[in-house]
């Protein structure tokens, strides 16, 4: 008799590796991937993440969610506004 192991969502492979099973789109990004997605440098992404406390750090790698990418875009939009 075999039993199957059911893992909670936080341990599912699709969640760990950043793929949504419903839509098959990427949900977790490294700073390099985020930089390519947003069209800015990897270093600038890291600067914004450190200064505004965006993303989660695992060892020496910072991981960003789609929500984090939207937050970076909002921060950049506010920084790009020229004072009147």
Whether 70 is covered by a domain: the verdict is yes
- Count how many domains the chain has: 1
DSSP designation for 16: H
Whether 67 is covered by a domain: the verdict is yes
CATH of the domain at 52: 1.10.1660
Whether 4 is covered by a domain: the verdict is no
Whether 2 is covered by a domain: the verdict is no
- Residue 26's pLDDT is 80
Q: What is the mean pLDDT of each run of 10 residues along the chain (84 residues)?
A: 50 50 77 95 96 94 95 92 69
Whether 16 is covered by a domain: the verdict is yes
Q: Which domain holds residue 69?
A: 10-79
The predicted model scores a pTM of: 0.68
């Amino acid at each position: 008799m075999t039993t199957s192991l059911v893992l909670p969502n936080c341990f599912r492979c699709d969640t760990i590796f950043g793929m949504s099973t419903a839509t098959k789109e990427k949900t977790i990004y490294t700073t390099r991937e985020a930089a390519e997605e947003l069209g800015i440098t990897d270093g600038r992404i890291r600067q914004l993440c450190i200064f505004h406390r965006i993303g989660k750090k695992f060892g020496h790698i910072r991981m960003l969610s789609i929500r984090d990418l939207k937050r970076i875009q909002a921060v950049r939009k506010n920084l790009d506004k020229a004072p009147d």
